[in-house]
């Protein structure tokens, strides 16, 4: 597959309008992080007060969605869009998002930068890892796609993904490039966490409200977003058709596409633009006739993305 580079595009947009969109705000990033954690803790507290199968299922879905949201903020920090001091950018991101999700920003960055530099090619580790896997083979019917989504709710696929990610990010090639990770901060984090859970007797709550959502809905939302970004009825013949942007409704934005992550095409074109400026970037890009005419933009996940996962003959049969 041919590699497409953003530098090859000739977009007629005003550089004076584009430049301010790269400006970062540590305050906005931190407030978004605080919001995600506040929702998680409020959900746990509310579910414990009124515990039944329905409230627990709702809690698992909500907590998994906010775990996913924290991972999106980590993604911005991977591009150094959080703090100007790179050391503190990585340390705080690890402590507040990545260590709780059992990995580190250093490991993710090594993979992610290759993804940006070699989008949808044999040198793109994300593309190579997913290509040929049944879950990422399209076209498929809605029933097939929704069956995969349901397999996350019963934790089967989430456990499989957790093992898959662990193997991917522990592979020798992931350790041979980029800045090596200092193992001590993560070790100290888990020593402190496990000691606290043991002293307070919080292991049951941790299992119910962190491990279960992590192995189910967290990976479920990751899967849906990953499909939306790079799979299903994409032409792959141009940078503007090698990934899609999805405009969610407010429910989808909370659960599936937090922190403007639906603007994925815009992110690939200008990865230095922080998440809170992506809507403005989209509006600016829409003033360019080439972008407006060729960019793959989908309206919604339920109403739009589902209609792009099957072959034309499948869609005609519905």
pLDDT tens digits for 101-139?
999 999 899 889 999 988 888 999 898 989 889 999 999
Quote the pLDDT of residue 265.
95
Confidence grade of residue 276 (pLDDT, cut at 50, 70, 90): very high
CA atoms of 146 and 103, how far apart (whole Å):
28
pLDDT value at residue 179: 65
Percent of the chain with pLDDT strictly greater than 90: 73
Alpha helices in the chain (DSSP H): 15-18, 26-49, 53-78, 86-93, 105-117, 125-130, 142-153, 156-169, 172-175, 183-200, 203-206, 212-213, 219-230, 250-255, 264-269, 278-285, 289-294, 312-316
Burial 30-67 (b: 16+ CB within 10 A, else e): eebbeebeebbeebbeebeeeeeeeebeebbbbbbbbb
Q: Among 146-160, 161-175, 216-230, 297-311, which stretch is predicted with the lowest mean pLDDT?
A: 161-175
The pLDDT tens digits for 65-114 are 999 999 999 999 999 999 999 999 999 999 999 999 999 999 899 889 99
pLDDT, position 132: 86
- Per-residue pLDDT band for 182 (boundaries 50, 70, 90) equals confident
3 pLDDT above the threshold of 80 = no
- In this prediction, residues 232-242 reach a mean pLDDT of 85
User: At residue 180, does pLDDT exceed 80?
Assistant: no
* Residue (of 192, 197, 182, 169) closest to 108 by Cα position: 169
Per-residue pLDDT at 309 exceeds 50: yes
Q: Report, as an integer, the average pLDDT of 8-37.
A: 92
Asked whether the predicted pLDDT for residue 256 surpasses 90, the reply is yes
Of 239 and 212, the one with more pLDDT: 212
- Answer whether 6's CB lies under 8 Å from 251's CB: no
Residue 26: CB atoms within 10 A of its CB come to 16
Which pLDDT score is estimated for 314?
36
297 φ/ψ angles, rounded to the nearest 5 degrees? -120, 125
Q: Which carries the bigger pLDDT value, residue 118 or residue 22?
A: 22
> For the whole model, what pTM was predicted?
0.92
The Cβ of residue 205 has, within 10 Å, a number of other Cβ atoms equal to: 14
Residue 315's pLDDT band (cuts 50, 70, 90): very low
What average pLDDT does the chain have?
A: 90
Q: Quick one: pLDDT band at residue 236, thresholds 50, 70, 90?
A: confident
């Amino acid at each position: 597959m041919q590699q497409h580079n953003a530098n090859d595009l000739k977009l007629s947009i005003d550089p004076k309008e584009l430049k301010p969109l790269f400006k970062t705000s540590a305050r906005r990033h931190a407030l978004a992080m605080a919001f995600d954690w506040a929702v998680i803790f409020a959900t746990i507290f509310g579910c414990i007060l009124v515990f039944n199968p329905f409230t627990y299922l709702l809690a698992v879905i909500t907590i998994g969605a906010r775990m996913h949201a924290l991972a999106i903020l980590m993604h911005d920090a991977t591009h150094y869009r959080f703090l100007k001091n790179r050391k503190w950018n990585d340390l705080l991101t690890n402590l507040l998002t990545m260590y709780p999700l059992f990995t580190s920003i250093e490991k993710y960055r090594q993979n992610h930068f290759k993804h940006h530099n070699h989008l949808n090619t044999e040198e793109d580790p994300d593309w190579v890892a997913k290509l040929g896997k049944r879950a990422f083979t399209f076209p498929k019917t809605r029933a097939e796609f929704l069956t995969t989504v349901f397999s996350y709710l019963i934790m089967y696929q989430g456990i499989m993904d957790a093992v898959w990610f662990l193997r991917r990010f522990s592979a020798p090639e992931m350790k041979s490039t980029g800045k090596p990770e200092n193992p001590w901060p993560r070790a100290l984090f888990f020593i402190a966490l496990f000691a606290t859970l043991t002293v307070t007797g919080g292991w049951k709550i941790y299992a119910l409200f962190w491990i279960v959502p992590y192995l189910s809905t967290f990976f479920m939302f990751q899967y849906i977003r990953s499909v939306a970004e790079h799979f299903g009825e994409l032409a792959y013949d141009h940078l503007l058709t090698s990934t899609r942007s999805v405009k969610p409704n407010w429910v989808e934005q909370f659960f599936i596409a937090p922190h403007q992550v639906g603007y994925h095409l815009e992110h690939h074109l200008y990865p230095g633009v922080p998440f809170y400026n992506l809507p403005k970037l989209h509006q600016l890009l829409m003033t360019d006739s080439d972008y407006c005419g060729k960019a793959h933009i989908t309206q919604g996940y339920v109403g739009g993305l589902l209609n792009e996962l099957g072959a034309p003959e499948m869609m005609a049969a519905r």
